[in-house]
Structure 1
């Protein structure tokens, strides 16, 4: 199956840019979610290119970590998407160097405890994971403090490399 040409409207991009970086990135992310049905699996992986997957990965990362930290990100099945792909390397390329280091630090914890982190759990067991994996706390705190700056760096990169993320019409 060949990759779809992802198109976004120039008008939507302009409107998004006026509203701010979040709205600007959302124009792309909404399109990727539409194309993939919001699911990342063997069938949907080929539908996006590496740049598009990186931006979608950041969307999932940000949503999950802001809501429930790395434990929630991993428990909701995004561990492999973030840590087994060149996400951290791409973030460095996008200009988010400190964020890239943060991802590599989180990956060390993930790789060391992967089987346990990905295990099916009851709600009670899930909540207990936050105490068990306090190693993530500092990284989550750092991300919360830097999230706006990181998102701005990514938005700037996307804006300067639009053709890599979608065809603008």
Structure 2
């Protein structure tokens, strides 16, 4: 059962003035606090679907902007992003182009899941970027659209606050 998550209105307003990524971060920091920073069977039930979708976007954005899909998957978020209705949620959040990008990446992930998730040395990990160049265009597409995607998601959250937290 989802935990009641409370967010301060003042903190939200302050974060919104700093940017949409900061606004989203207020929620995701709370979610990470609630789940103790760990995604597993026990903690999954502590958040509702909307909260999971926002947290998944947080992980997606952070990992892909730093090291692409290979890093996202190697850091253990492949299943959370691709084996859950994340892409469908993103379409519902109003970022249809981003949703399509996730579906394209999922095809690559599904076809290569075992290899993509295999434990790697640092050297083997770096070599994965050449092996999985199929992700390159998708990463570029996301990086080009990231600000707009983040702003649209933040707008959706703002329009549906009650789904993401109780504002005090």
TM range (shorter): over 0.9
Q: What's 2:10 paired with?
A: 11
Distance apart, 1:68 and its partner CA: 0.5
Identify unmatched segments of 5+ residues in structure 1: none
Q: State the TM-score, normalizing by the size of structure 2.
A: 0.99
Distance apart, 1:3 and its partner CA: 2.0
1:138 counterpart SS class: helix
Pairwise CA RMSD: 0.6
Determine the C-alpha separation between the residues in 2 that align with 1:96 and 1:119: 31
Deviations 1:30-85 (A, max 9, x none): 10011011111101100000000000000000010001000000000000000000
Q: What's 1:32 paired with?
A: 31
Distance apart, 1:19 and its partner CA: 1.4
Q: What's 1:103 paired with?
A: 102
Alignment of 1:5-84 (within 5 A): 5-84=4-83
Question: Are 2:88 and 1:86 equivalent residues in the alignment?
Answer: no
Distance apart, 1:100 and its partner CA: 0.1
Moved over 6 A (4+): none
Distance apart, 1:17 and its partner CA: 1.2
Determine the C-alpha separation between the residues in 2 that align with 1:83 and 1:60: 12
Q: What's 1:129 paired with?
A: 128
Q: Which 10-residue stretch deviates more, 47-56 or 19-28? A: 19-28
1:37 counterpart SS class: coil
Identify unmatched segments of 5+ residues in structure 2: none
Determine the C-alpha separation between the residues in 2 that align with 1:20 and 1:118: 34
1:116 counterpart SS class: helix
Distance apart, 1:22 and its partner CA: 1.3
Determine the C-alpha separation between the residues in 1 that align with 2:150 and 2:79: 22
Q: What's 2:151 paired with?
A: 152
Determine the C-alpha separation between the residues in 1 that align with 2:62 and 2:150: 12
Determine the C-alpha separation between the residues in 2 that align with 1:104 and 1:31: 28
Between the two proteins, the alignment pairs up a number of residues equal to: 168
